[in-house]
Amino acid sequence: MSSTGMVNYHVHKPERQAFEIDAGGIEGNLASPELIATEVALTDLRAGRSTASFEADGFAFARVPTQVAQFGAEAGWQGVYDRELAKMLRQSIGARDVVVFDHTLRVDDPDAKRRPARNVHSDYSQEGAEKRLIGILGKERAAEWSAGHYAFINVWRPVENPINSAPLGFVRPSTVAGEDWILIDLIYPDRRGHIMGLAANDRHEWVYLSRMTPDEVVYFNIYDSKGGPSVGHSAIDRVEDPDVATVRKSIESRTLVLF
C-alpha cells in the first residue's frame, strides 16, 4: 500500500521572492514567497523495495550511534559530536577534510525557537555557497579549497525518540528539472543570502525512511562545487501512528567537506 504526505512547494512568480529573517536569525517570516500545499506519494526505504545512494542521489541513510546523550545549549557535547560526524563522512563518502560549522536543534512545537522547515528547498545557491566558504575558512584557505572539490553536506538525526510525525523527505534529484528551482533571497538585518526553493513537478519522486531512530542519520548534499546533485528536501506533514504522542525533535549539522 502506498503512503502519502503533504509538502509545501514554492511557486514561480514574476518578481524576486524572499524570506525575511529577524535579528537573531531564528524566526523566518514569509516576505513574498508563495507556498502551495501539495499531496505527494512517498517511497519508504524501510520497506526495502528501493534504495538511495549518496553517489547517485546525493543522500543516503546510515546507522551511526552517538555517544552524545543529550543535545542542548550546554557546552561539552559539540566536540564529541563533531568528531563523530567527521569520522562518518570520511568513511562513507571519502571526505579528506571535514569542517562542522553549525548545529540546529528543531522541535515540532509552536513555542519552539526552531521548528521543522516545511518548505521544499535546498540550502545554497552557487553564489551563496561561495560566500559561505569564505566566511567559514577565510579568503586564503577558501581559495585553496575552491581549486579542488568541496561540498556542503547536512547530517540530520532524530533526537530522544523515533520520528513519528513530520519526517524529513527528499526529492530524488534525477526527477528534478532545472527550471523547477527558484532562487529565494534571505534578508537579514545586516546581510543578504539565498536558498533554492523547489516548485512542484509531477515527475518528482519523494523518498523517506519511516520511523527513523536516534541511532540513524541521513546525510545529504546541499551544494557540490563539481556539480553533484543538490537535494530538495522538506519536513513532510504525515503521522505514522496516531496513537503515539511523542514530539518530533531532530538535530541537523551543516558540514563543509573537501574531497
DSSP 57-87: HSEEEEE---S-S--SSSTTHHHHHHHHHHH
pLDDT in tens, the chain (259 residues): 469 999 999 999 988 888 877 644 444 454 557 899 999 999 999 988 899 999 999 999 999 999 998 897 776 899 999 999 999 999 999 999 999 999 999 999 988 888 999 999 999 999 989 999 999 999 999 999 999 999 999 999 999 999 999 999 999 999 999 999 999 988 877 777 788 999 999 999 999 999 999 999 999 999 999 999 999 999 999 999 999 999 999 999 999 999 9
Q: In the chain, how many domains are there?
A: 1
pTM: 0.92
| Contacting residues for 222 by C-beta, under 8 A, at least 6 apart | 122, 123, 124, 152, 153, 154, 230, 231, 254
Q: Are strands 59-63 and 35-44 parallel, antiparallel or unpaired?
A: unpaired
Q: Which three cell numbers stand for residue 24?
A: 537573531
Q: Domain range spanning residue 146?
A: 3-258
